[in-house]
Structure 1
Amino acid sequence: MTMLAASVLFAFATCAGISTASAADSGNGNGKLMTIIVNDPSNPYWQTEGQVAAKEARKLGYKANVVAHHGDTNTERNEVDTAITNHSAAIILDPANAKGSIGSVKKAVQAHIPVFLVNAEIDQKGLAKAQLVSNNAQGAALGAQQWVKAVGTHAKYVELKGAPSDNNAATRSNGYRTVLSQYPGLKEVASQVANWDRTQGHDKMQGMLQSHPNITGLISGNDEMALGAIAALKQAGKLSQVTVGGFDGSPAAIDAIKKGEMAYTVLQPVAVFSKKAVDEANHYIKTGSTGVDHEKQLFDCILITKKNIGNYVAPFTLKSMQ
């Protein structure tokens, strides 16, 4: 099977809720089930999240079932119900909503199934055994500082924001503002919510361009929205006039940096903390402890520009992470 075919098969299996891994000979998970619930596998970030977690679960001897809620709390609730019915040993969950996912986590905990959150948080401590997330404030500061270097200290710019239900969106936007507000010559003339989505990023960028045709900068809450905006800027013949900054470290963003279409991206170490979440779940299943003192665990982000892009060796992975 080719790598492309394998990728397509995984994406289909994820969307359909089909098991993507079986018990391995190595490890001692004894064939127990680990349910992995991601957001939207059509986004390479979340696809990597599911792939890495499933691979690590299989390595440790578990069966792994990867499903997607697509940001919908009702779908998420149904998937948690299924995980309970299937007697999952643990649930790895990228929550759909900071507040709306609390009920699903409570339900799993009441069924004596430990929950390990990845990428996004919920607004209640003490339910999940661990919350493993990128250090979004640190990453936003890194990105904003690089954006200023690229665009200069005098510019009219716009911002694309992620889903309001995800605390990461506000954390990144606030992090950008903390840095950019230090430069009086930088004027934000518009901002739009594009919900982490490439198509929405394109459409919202088109609208902002109509109202503000002379902008020289765009700062985005993630790569997918930035890539959609780049497409809109190309169509308008304005890409060469606008500095674009992203966030995630996706393969498509890396290609855009190589082409000179994007100034930088901020890599989230999703491949690191997805693996670690499974390791902590395995430790908890065996010992009753995660082996880590704190529920919330932050993982620093890494700035990627043309200078260090050669260290990018796999989706969301640098040589230093291997």
Structure 2
Amino acid sequence: MNTLVKLTLIASAMLASSSLLAAEKGLIAIITPSHDNPFFKAEAEGAKAKAQELGYSTLVASHDDDVNKQNQLIETAIARKAKAIVLDNAGADATVGPLEKAKAAGIPTFLIDREINKTGVAVAQIVSNNYQGAQLGAEKFAKLLNGKGEYVELLGKESDTNSGVRSQGYHDVLDDYPDLKMVAQQSANWSQTEAFSRMETILQKHPNIVGVISGNDTMALGAEAALKSAGKTNVIVVGFDGSDYVRDSIINKGNIKATVLQPGWAQAQMAIEQADYYLKNGKAQKEEKQLMDCVLIDESNASKLKVFNLSE
């Protein structure tokens, strides 16, 4: 038997062994919003990588912020006897019932990024400290604007708890600046396309704005595109998430000057690790509600950011 054949047989045996291990440990369902948003894509990829590293097979799917689609995916996970579900949910209230059904079927759930409005249903709710992060972003925004001028706020999806928490964090800082005046506040539903359209309309009514503070990076990018299209390269934008696209705008001195990193990759991997612990030990590794602090990203550290992870 030649060396090439031996290596092929060894590789095949290793692959078979790995597949058998995954089959023995079972399936973990990973459900997030649309992967068109790089943050949610990073969550899904981070969770999948960690699950496979620990020997699980995975079912990765997107609910696209559609509650009915999310419920169907949870039903699929139950029908396929998943060992656990890792979920970035489609609604703080609407998700409670489906997760209660999963719990009744003996399937533990681990929430990331977004909370639900009930405790005791999921094993863990691992979320970014959105309020703390929003305050970091607002403080930077106020500093960039020298504490004065007209500004716009773009809100996320109104059914998403994070949208309200971030907005509250922004205003608990910005409202203390008497010379900062919010002239428009509109929801763009976390969407880049909607943010572009909203900003085009807002600029027609308020051409003298000096800043835009956004509930996420995707909307910040839409706002930046509209500002550039209108020739307003001096209007300052601050986002929230810590995406690579916004990092590039910061580095290349675009309209976006800062964002707030929420560690999506780390959260997703932590959820898988805690699911693995729960499945091995029959109990939660940590308390249900877990907050991870956010980090301000600006010109001083943007070059260290990659896939929602900040290198040392």
TM-score, normalising length: structure 1? 0.89
Determine if the alignment matches structure 1 residue 121 to structure 2 residue 115.
Answer: yes
- Assess if the C-alpha contact under 8 Å between 2:155 and 2:188 holds in 1: yes
- Look up the equivalent residue of 2:294 and give its one-letter code: C
Task: State, as a whole percentage, how many aligned pairs show the same letter.
Answer: 44
Q: What is the DSSP-based 3-state SS (H/G/I as helix, E as strand, rest coil) of the residue aligned with 1:76?
A: helix
Tell whether 2:97 aligns with 1:95.
Answer: no
- What does residue range 181-200 of structure 1 map to in structure 2 within 5 Å? 181-200=175-194
1:204 aligned onto 2:198: yes
Which residue number in structure 2 is paired with residue 315 of structure 1? 307
Shift of 1:239: 2.4
Q: 1:286, CA displacement in angstroms?
A: 0.9
Q: Take 1:28 and 1:108, find their aligned partners in 2: how far apart are those partners?
A: 21
Based on CA coordinates, which of the two structures has the bigger radius of gyration?
A: 2
Counterpart CA distance in 2 for 1:279 and 1:28 is 15
Asked if 2 retains the 8 angstrom alpha-carbon contact of 1:199 and 1:228, the reply is yes
Q: How many Å separate the matches in 1 of 2:38 and 2:144?
A: 26
What are the equivalent positions in structure 2 for 1:4-83 lying under 5 Å apart?
24=18, 30-83=24-77
Helix, strand or coil: the match of 2:182?
strand
Which residue identity does 1:54 align to in structure 2?
A: K
User: Could you give the per-residue CA deviations for residues 20-69 of structure 1, whole angstroms, max 9, x where no partner exists?
Assistant: xx984798883400000000101000000000000000000000110000
CA apart distance, 1:103: 1.2
Q: Report the equivalent of 2:8.
A: none
Q: Tell me, in whole angstroms, the C-alpha distance in 2 between the residues paired with 1:27 and 1:205.
A: 51
Deviation at 1:165, TM superposition (A): 0.9
Does 2:290 align with 1:300? Answer: no
Give the AA of the match of 1:246: G
1:187 alignment partner, SS class: strand
Q: TM-score, normalized by length of structure 2?
A: 0.92
SS of the residue aligned with 2:24? coil
How many residues align? The count is 296
For the residues of structure 1 that align with 2:169 and 2:102, how far apart are their CA atoms? 33
CA distance in 2, matches of 1:124, 1:33: 26
For 1:96 and 1:232, locate their aligned partners in 2 and report how far apart those are by CA, in whole Å. Answer: 28
Contact 1:23 1:30 in 2 (8 A): no
Give a deviation string over 1:199-254, Cα, whole Å, max 9, x none: 011011111111111110100000000100111001111122x1100100001000
- The residue number in structure 1 matching 2:211 is 217
User: Does the aligned pair in 1 maintain the 2:191–2:219 contact within 8 Å?
Assistant: yes
**Structure 1 position 187, deviation (Å):** 0.3
Moved more, 116-125 or 28-37: 28-37
* CA contact 1:23–1:58 (8 Å) conserved in 2: no
Distance across 1 between alignment mates of 2:75 and 2:304: 41
Extract unaligned runs of 5+ from structure 2: 1-15
Question: In the alignment, what sits opposite 1:174?
Answer: 168
User: Contact between 2:251 and 2:303, CA under 8 Å: does it hold in 1?
Assistant: no
State the 4+ residue runs in structure 1 displaced beyond 2 angstroms: 22-31
* Cα shift at 1:180: 0.3
Instruction: Tell me if structure 2 keeps the 8 A contact 1:24–1:60.
Output: no
Counterpart of 2:260 in 1: which secondary structure? strand
Conserved 8 A contact 2:22-2:52: no
Could you tell me which of 240, 252, 255 is aligned with 1:247? 240
RMSD: 1.5
CA distance 1:47–1:111, shift in 2 (3 Å): same
- Deviation of residue 169 (structure 1)? 0.2
SS across alignment from 1:64: strand
